[in-house]
Amino acid sequence: MPDINFYYLEKATLSNLKRIFNSSDFPFVRLSKFLDIESVDYEPKLEREEKIGYYNREKGSAILEEFWQSSEFIKFLGRITGLKPKFRSANHLNYSPGDYSLLHIDESEPNRLSVVYDFTRSWRLEWGGYDLYTSPDKEPLICNRDLGSLMIVKLEKGDLSCTRYVSLKSKKSTLIDFIIYDLD
Amino acid sequence: MRKAEEIPQIVKYPFPHVIVRDFLDMATLDLVIDALAGLEYEFNESDLFSYLSFGLTDIDHPVINILRDDLGDEFWRRKVAEKFSVKPISKIDMGAYVYGLGDFLLPHDDQVEGRIIAYSLHLTDIGITEKMGGALHIYEADKLGKSTLVESLIPEYNSLIMFEVSNHSWHQVGEILDDIQRLTVTGWYHA
């Protein structure tokens, strides 16, 4: 299993991250260079899945499936968020040019912690493909692609998320491990 | 004024749709395009779309009023309802839409209560080609939501595309890939 960047395990950092996470209108934190990505074997096995009007993308097992389920990572999540996340699912998602998901795929979701780890290389903003989080009465949260970043977002019932349309002009694909943890 | 007085044969697959070419006479067309060029469009984007738009349903403008009549007078509404074999149409709504480079509208079926027929009058006069993007893609979807592209309707100047709104009417506007402006007046005929 890959190691978490030691910086994020220091007591002072953890304390700071917890404060940042819980002080945002939209509770989130973004951790760049979270793992040593070069040490990760990137060999996804993907199948296309489409539900027109909802999503069109490729999906497979998460690259770091074991890591996302590990007690080490779940404990780390708990320390950063002050919550008690319970692992639900982990998938690897590939959004190629023309692919998309729409916000209403989350319509019936309960309270949860959304975790996205980014494997996307050499991305350009104008290609879209960013993660979008919305909540009633809050400003939308946009998370642009950034190789090696971990995004942790607390979503409540009624909050929605998606990966926005990837331009046909894109030369790359959006590649993410997408993990959901249930919250009480 | 409206030049077209007849609606060609409706294409039934994958859902009923039709193209009426040469919809307006040239004098009206010029006036309409001038009027639309003078509007202050609002940029709209969401997970589903990205475009500029301006609502035309309720504005009082001499040229837009003529266009509203051409698209929605009693004679034309009766023609549309008869041709599509749908219940009588009581009203229309309309808006102007401009899609520029990178804009798009992802697959959706247009279903909102009261909408019977969707329409789009194409007003870009540069001869849009497939490579420029902006085609109206028409899909067939199976029960699981897997789609098959059935037809790509390249916007033709002064052509009116209409289709019946249902849970089968999956369509999208393809991403604009060139530095063009795809201008339409688009809306719905309501029961």
Q: Is A107's pLDDT higher than 90? A: no
Kindly report, residue by residue over A57-74, the tens digit of the pLDDT. Answer: 999 999 999 999 999 999
B140–A contact, CB cutoff 8 A: no
Look at residue B132 and tell me if it is in a domain: yes
Closest CA to B126 of B147, B145, B104, B154: B154
Q: Work out the pLDDT band at A38, boundaries 50, 70, 90.
A: confident
Q: What is the pLDDT of residue A184?
A: 80
Q: How far apart are CA B65 and CA B5, in angstroms?
A: 19
CA of A169, closest CA in chain B: separation in Å? Answer: 8
| Bridge partners (DSSP) listed for residue B42 | B53
Q: How far apart are CA B153 and CA A104, in angstroms?
A: 28
| Domain count within chain B | 1
- Interfacial residues of A (vs B; Cβ cutoff 8 Å): 50-54, 56, 98, 100-103, 126, 132, 162, 164-165, 167-169
Question: What domains appear along chain A, each with residue ranges and CATH number?
Answer: 6-33+48-182 (2.60.120.620)
Q: Please report, for the domain that includes residue B87, its CATH number.
A: 2.60.120.620
Distance of CA B91 to the CA centre of its chain: 16
Look at residue B1 and tell me if it is in a domain: no
CA of B166, closest CA in chain A: separation in Å? Answer: 14
CA of A75, closest CA in chain B: separation in Å? Answer: 33
DSSP string, chain B: -B------PPB-SSS-EEEE-S-B-HHHHHHHHHHHHTS--EEEE-SSEEEEEEE-SS---HHHHHHHHHHHSHHHHHHHHHHHT-PPP-EEEEEEEEE-TT-EEEEE----TTEEEEEEEE---S---GGGB--EEEEEE-TT--EEEEEEE---TTEEEEEE-STT--EEEPPB-SS--EEEEEEEEE-
Q: What is the gyration radius of the CA atoms in chain A, in angstroms? A: 16
Q: What is the pLDDT of residue B23?
A: 98
Q: In degrees to the nearest 10, what's the CA dihedral of B44, B49, B53, B57?
A: -120
Look at residue B2 and tell me if it is in a domain: no
Q: Work out the pLDDT band at A2, boundaries 50, 70, 90.
A: confident
Q: Which residue of B has its CA nearest to A128?
A: B102
Whether this model's ipTM surpasses 0.85 comes out as yes
Q: What is the pLDDT of residue B28?
A: 96
Q: How many pairs of residues across A and B have Cβ atoms under 8 Å apart?
A: 47
Closest CA to A138 of A23, A20, A25: A25
Look at residue B8 and tell me if it is in a domain: no
3-state percent breakdown (helix, strand, coil) of chain A, nearest 5:
25, 35, 40
The answer to whether the CB of B161 falls within 8 A of the CB of B19 is: yes
State the residue range of the domain holding B72: 17-190
Q: Work out the pLDDT band at A54, boundaries 50, 70, 90.
A: very high
Question: Which of B 13-42 lie inside 8 A of A, CB atoms?
Answer: none
Q: Which two tokens stand for residue A180?
A: 């959901």
B145 and A167 within 8 Å at the Cβ level: the answer is: no
Q: CB-CB: which of B46, B104, B139 is closest to A52? A: B139
pLDDT (mean) for A23-27: 89
Q: Is the peptide bond before B14 cis (omega within 30 degrees of 0)?
A: yes
The answer to whether the CB of B98 falls within 8 A of the CB of B124 is: no
Q: Is A95's pLDDT higher than 90? A: yes
Residue B111, phi then psi, degrees to nearest 5: -70, 115
A52 and B48 within 8 Å at the Cβ level: the answer is: no
Q: Which two tokens stand for residue B142?
A: 């199976």
Q: How far apart are CA B28 and CA B14, in angstroms?
A: 33
Q: Is A1's pLDDT higher than 90? A: no
Q: How far apart are CA B178 and CA B124, in angstroms?
A: 13
Q: CB-CB: which of B106, B139, B175 is closest to A168? A: B175
Q: Which residues of A fall within a CB distance of 8 Å from B175?
A: 98, 165, 167-169
Q: What is the pLDDT of residue A52?
A: 98
Q: What is the gyration radius of the CA atoms in chain B, in angstroms? A: 16
Q: Which residues of B fall within a CB distance of 8 Å from A169?
A: 102, 175, 177
Write b or e for each residue in B157-173: b if 16 or more Cβ atoms lie within 10 A of its Cβ, otherwise e: bbbbbbbbbeebbbbbb
Look at residue B7 and tell me if it is in a domain: no
Kindly report, residue by residue over A113-162, the tens digit of the pLDDT. Answer: 999 999 999 999 999 999 999 999 899 999 999 999 999 999 999 999 99
Per-residue pLDDT of chain B (191 residues; tens, 9 = 90+): 999 999 999 999 999 999 999 999 999 999 999 999 999 999 999 999 999 999 999 999 999 999 999 999 999 999 999 999 999 999 999 999 999 999 999 999 999 999 999 999 999 999 999 999 999 999 999 999 999 999 999 999 999 999 999 999 999 999 999 999 999 999 999 99
Q: Work out the pLDDT band at A37, boundaries 50, 70, 90.
A: confident
Interface test with B, best of A101, A165, A169, A171 (most B CBs within 10 A): A165
The answer to whether the CB of B16 falls within 8 A of the CB of B117 is: no
Q: Which residue of B has its CA nearest to A161?
A: B47
Q: Looking up tokens 């497939």, which residue turns up? A: B130
Q: Which residues of B fall within a CB distance of 8 Å from A56?
A: 147
Look at residue B171 and tell me if it is in a domain: yes
Residue B52, phi then psi, degrees to nearest 5: -100, 145
Q: How far is CA A49 from CA A8, A59, A93, A179, B140, in A?
A: 35, 7, 10, 17, 16
A165 and B177 within 8 Å at the Cβ level: the answer is: no
| Helix B26-37 and helix B62-72, axial crossing angle in degrees, nearest 10 | 120
Look at residue B124 and tell me if it is in a domain: yes
Q: Which residues of A fall within a CB distance of 8 Å from B144?
A: 51
Q: What is the pLDDT of residue B157?
A: 97
